[in-house]
Structure 1
Amino acid sequence: MPRFLHVADVHLGFDRYDNKRRTMDFFYAFQDALERYAIANPVDFVLIVGDLFEHRNIQPNILNQAQVCLQALKDAGIPVLAIEGNHDNRPYGARTSWLRYLADWEMLKLLEPGDISAGEPFYFPWDEDAKRGGYIDLDCGVRVLGSAWYGAMAPQAIAQTAEAIQALPPGPNATVMMFHHGLEGQIARYQGALRYKDLLPLKEAGVDYLALGHIHKNYTYGDWIFNPGSIEANSVEEVDFDRGVYLVDLDGATIQAELKSDYVQRPVVRLRCKVTESDEAEQVLETARSVVQSAIERQAVRPEEEPVVELRIGGYLGFNRLDLDTRQLQAELKELSQALILLLKFEAEQREYTTQVTEGSDRQTIEREVFLDLLAANATYRKQSTALAQGLIDLKDLQLSDRPETELYSFVETLLAGESAATDEGTANDPMDEPELN
C-alpha cells in the first residue's frame, strides 16, 4: 500500500518579524516533521506542493537549510517531488529558479509542464538524465503529476491540464496531482480562490488525490482535495488554524489522510484586554500587565518556551493616547513574558463627544459646548467638566481683559485645586468599576 507525506507552504527564510531565531523556527519545524513522519517510518515519497521558500531570491544559509532537509530524505532513499508556488516561482521570462537548482543537483524532482511554445508536449515523463519532466510513474504504483503557478489563469490552465492528463498513456492505478492554489470558502479576504467546479475537470480526468498548497489552513473537500496548511504559523492569526502535514495511505480507491502537527513549533499566544473610558493611563498599563501575568499563572504563556505573544488592547480611552508610552509597555510585557516576539496591538479608541448646538446659539454657548466635549473625552476631567468649562470661559475673559499673568496663573491654580478636591471626594463616594479583562 503506497504511503506518502504531503507538505506545503514551508516558507524557509521567513523574515516577517526580522528575527533570526524566528526564521530558524521554520527550518526546525520542516526538519522535525520530515524526520518524524517521512524518515522514522519511511514513506514511499514526499510531496512539496509549493512555497518551499519565502522568497524567490534567497540567502546562502536558507538554501543550506533546504539542502540539509532534502539530503536527509535522499540518504533515506525517499524521493522528493515538488512544484513551485507563488513565493518561489521563477519570474516571467526567467529560465531557472532555486527549485530548478535543487533539481539539477538531484535533491528533488521538479515536476512542471513542458514549454508548448518551444514544441514540447504539455506533459512528458520525468527524464533522470535531463532532470526534467511533468509527471513520474513511481515503483510504488502511483503516478504523480506536477503543475505550475498559474495565478489568475488557473481556471483556463486546469482545462488544458485535464485534457493533457487524458492524453497520457495508461499508468499506475493511483494518480496524485500537485497544484498550488486555494479553494474558495476556506478563509476570509482571499480573492481569486477557485470554485470546486473549476477543479472538477481534474477529477474527471483521473486525479484520485489532488494535493493543494497556498492556503495556510488545513482543509479537505470531496474526499479527493487535500490541503495540509503551512508547516509553521506565518502570522499570529494562523495560530487559530489547524495546520500540519498529511501522512497519506492509498489503498486502491480508498484514501486515508491523517493530519500530523506533533512536531517542533514555537508557541504563539493571543491575548486580549478591554479598557474603559473611566481608566486613566496608569490603569491601562496595569490592566495590560495583569492580563499577561494571568496568562503566565494559568500557563497559557510559558516564559521558558519563549513564545510569540500578541496582546490586543481594545475598548475606549478616557485620555489622549499620546499620554501612554506604548513602546515602554511593549518592552515591559516582553520582559515579563520572556517572549521571543511581543506584538502589542493598541486598538482602543477615543470616543467622540459631540453636543448638538441649536441654530442661533450665541458665541458663549458654542464655546461652552466645545469645552464640554473636550473635557468629557478625558477621564481625568469628565466628572467636573461643567465647572471646568465655565472656568475656561472665565479664564478667556480675564485674558481678554488684559489681567496680569500672575492673576491668570492664580485663577488656574484655584480652578484646578477645586477640581482636584471634587474628584477625590467623588472617587471616595463612587468607586471606579474594575476594568474588564478577557
Structure 2
Amino acid sequence: MTIRFLHTADIHLGKTYRTSSGAAERYEDFFHMLEAIVADAVVEQVTFVLISGDLFHTGQILPRTFARTIETLQPLKDAGIPCIAVEGNHDWIHRRDSISWMEALSQMGYIRLLRPSRTESGGYHFDPFDPETGMGGHIEINGLNIYGLGYIGTQAGAHVARICEAVTTRSNLLLFHVGVWNYSPVEIGNMKPEEALPLAEVFDYVALGHGHKPYTIETPEGRSYAFNPGAPECVNFGEEKYDKGYYLVTVESGGYHHQFRRSNPRPMLVMAINLDGAEHAADALERLRCQVNEKLGSTADNRRPLLELRLSGRVAFHPFELGRERLKLILTELCNPLHVEIKNHLSLVTRSGEEEAVAKRSLSEIERDVLRELVSAKSDYKGHEEELVRLSLAIRDQVLKGETDGEELLGLLLREPA
C-alpha cells in the first residue's frame, strides 16, 4: 500500500510584533501559511500530516489564537486526515499541572498529540494513542507505526538508546523536536550526529523539527533517515537566506521518497548599510537612501517586507542624530516595511587623541562593557560574565521587539546552557 504524508514543523502560530503597527497583519501570516499547507494536504489526499513541534509560538496563547487554530485545522478533520503532532520547546508550558493548548486540541480531535510515558528506571514507554483522552505515544496508520516525543532539552542525545529500546515494532517513524549539530542553526536543544545515528537502525524516517533551516541527515552508507523541513514562514531575522517549505513524502515498498515543497513566506530583508565617512546626518541619510534602493532591487511580491537595518561605519556626527523614528520615516517612504528593526553600530570620530579612542567605540560595545562591569561587581557571578551579558541582551532584544510574553522570557532563563 502506498502511503503519502506531509511533514511540517515550527509553524509558530500566535507570533507577532506587539508594538508594531503591522502586528495584526503579521499575526495572520502564520495562519495563512498553515492554511496553505492544510489545503495542499487535502488536495493531495494524503494519509496524514505530521507537525514536528512548535505549532504555537508560546505555550500560553490567547483564546483567539486557539480559535483560529481550530478554524485552520478544520479542513483536515472534515477530510478525515489525521494531524499527528508533538510538542516543541515553544509549545511546552512550565506549569505541568495545567492542561496545555496542545492537549486541548488533541482531546477535541484536531490533532493526535504523541507523548511517551516514563518508567521508574527512566526508560520510555510508548502507550497506544487513546482518542478518548487524546493521549499516547504511538499510533499505527495503514501498517506504519508512528512514535512521538517532543522537546527534551540539550541532553536529548543521552536518551536515544532508551528511546530505541522501547520500540519493538517494524516500519517505524519517529517525530522528534530536536536539532542535530552541524546541521541545525540553533544553539540549544541539539544532539551530536553520532548520538542521533542509532535512530536510523530503528526508524525508517525521523521527522525532525526545532531548527528553522531545512536539512537531511544520512547514514555513513548514504541512506537518508532524518529530515527537518525547517519553518515554512520566516520566524526570525537571519532566516531570510534559508529555503522555506515542507515535505511531501511517499512511502512505497518500504522506501521513503521525500519532495521539498516551497512555501511563500513574507519577504524578509536584512540590509547592512555602510555609512563610513559621512560628515553629517543629511549626507548619511542620502547614502542610506541610495543603498536601500539598490538592495531592494525588483520583486514581484507586493506584500510589505520585514526589514532589519544594520548601520555601520565611523561618522563625523553623533549617531543619535539618526534616531529610530527618523530612520523609520525614510524606510516607510522607500519600501513601506511591515516591521523594522534597527541596529545602530555607528561610531563617532573626533579630532582629539584620547577622546577619539573612546568615541570610536560603538554603542553596543559600551553597552556590553557596562553590563560586564555590573555583573562582575557581584562576586557570586564571577566567571559567568559573558554568559549573563548575552542573556541580558537577549532578554532586552526580545522585549524591544515587542513580540515576547512573560512565559517565553521565563523560558530563556530556564533553558539549559548550550
TM-score scaled by length of structure 1: 0.74
1:277-322 residue CA offsets vs partner (Å, 9 max, x unmatched)? 25321110111122233345x31596x4211122322222122213
- Conserved? CA contact 1:181–1:212, under 8 Å: yes
Q: 1:31-430 residue pairs with structure 2 within 5 A?
A: 31-36=35-40, 38-91=41-94, 93-94=96-97, 96-117=99-120, 122-139=125-142, 141-165=143-167, 168=168, 170-171=169-170, 174-187=171-184, 190-204=187-201, 206-222=202-218, 223-263=224-264, 265-296=265-296, 298-300=297-299, 304-351=302-349, 355=353
1:267, distance to aligned residue in structure 2 (A): 1.2
| Counterpart secondary structure, 1:224 | strand
Using a 3 Å threshold, how does the CA distance of structure 1 residues 193 and 118 change in structure 2: closer, same or farther? closer
- Conserved? CA contact 2:311–2:344, under 8 Å: yes
Using a 3 Å threshold, how does the CA distance of structure 1 residues 142 and 238 change in structure 2: closer, same or farther? same
Where does structure 1 lack aligned partners over 5 or more consecutive residues? 356-369, 378-438
- Conserved? CA contact 1:236–1:268, under 8 Å: yes
1:17, distance to aligned residue in structure 2 (A): 5.4
1:209-252 residue CA offsets vs partner (Å, 9 max, x unmatched)? 00000001000011001000012111121111122111111223
Cα distance between partner residues in 2 of 1:344 and 1:119? 47
Match of 1:366 in 2: none
1:56, distance to aligned residue in structure 2 (A): 0.8
- Conserved? CA contact 2:124–2:163, under 8 Å: no
Match of 2:415 in 1: none
- Conserved? CA contact 2:150–2:175, under 8 Å: no
Match of 1:23 in 2: 27
Using a 3 Å threshold, how does the CA distance of structure 1 residues 201 and 105 change in structure 2: closer, same or farther? same
Cα RMSD of the aligned pairs, angstroms, is 2.6
| Counterpart secondary structure, 2:197 | helix
1:94-133 residue CA offsets vs partner (Å, 9 max, x unmatched)? 3521111011111111111124359997112222333322
1:315-344 residue CA offsets vs partner (Å, 9 max, x unmatched)? 221222133334212222123312111233
Using a 3 Å threshold, how does the CA distance of structure 1 residues 185 and 350 change in structure 2: closer, same or farther? farther
Cα distance between partner residues in 1 of 2:269 and 2:83? 34
Cα distance between partner residues in 2 of 1:238 and 1:124? 37
- Conserved? CA contact 1:269–1:300, under 8 Å: no
Cα distance between partner residues in 2 of 1:5 and 1:342? 33
1:16, distance to aligned residue in structure 2 (A): 4.3
1:195, distance to aligned residue in structure 2 (A): 0.7
Higher relative contact order, structure no. (Cα contacts within 8 Å, ≥ 6 residues apart): 2
Using a 3 Å threshold, how does the CA distance of structure 1 residues 353 and 3 change in structure 2: closer, same or farther? farther
Question: Aligned partner of 1:279: which letter?
Answer: E
- Conserved? CA contact 2:138–2:146, under 8 Å: yes
1:339-384 residue CA offsets vs partner (Å, 9 max, x unmatched)? 11123322222357774xxxxxxxxxxxxxx68x59x98xxxxxxx
Moved more, 328-337 or 240-249: 328-337
Question: Aligned partner of 2:25: which letter?
Answer: R
1:156, distance to aligned residue in structure 2 (A): 2.9
Cα distance between partner residues in 1 of 2:232 and 2:68? 15
Question: Aligned partner of 1:107: which letter?
Answer: Y
| Counterpart secondary structure, 2:64 | helix
Q: How many residues align?
A: 350
Question: Aligned partner of 1:12: which letter?
Answer: L
Cα distance between partner residues in 2 of 1:213 and 1:10? 10
Cα distance between partner residues in 2 of 1:290 and 1:119? 61
Moved more, 153-162 or 235-244: 153-162
TM-score scaled by length of structure 2: 0.77
Cα distance between partner residues in 1 of 2:105 and 2:320? 52
Cα distance between partner residues in 2 of 1:95 and 1:324? 47
Greater than 4 Å deviation, 4+ residue runs: 117-121, 351-355
Using a 3 Å threshold, how does the CA distance of structure 1 residues 197 and 354 change in structure 2: closer, same or farther? farther
Cα distance between partner residues in 2 of 1:244 and 1:159? 31
Q: Are 1:2 and 2:3 matched, yes or no?
A: yes
Using a 3 Å threshold, how does the CA distance of structure 1 residues 191 and 53 change in structure 2: closer, same or farther? closer
Cα distance between partner residues in 1 of 2:173 and 2:165? 16
Question: Aligned partner of 1:267: which letter?
Answer: P
- Conserved? CA contact 1:216–1:229, under 8 Å: yes
- Conserved? CA contact 1:269–1:301, under 8 Å: no
- Conserved? CA contact 2:103–2:134, under 8 Å: no
1:121-160 residue CA offsets vs partner (Å, 9 max, x unmatched)? 7112222333322111102x31110113211331232221
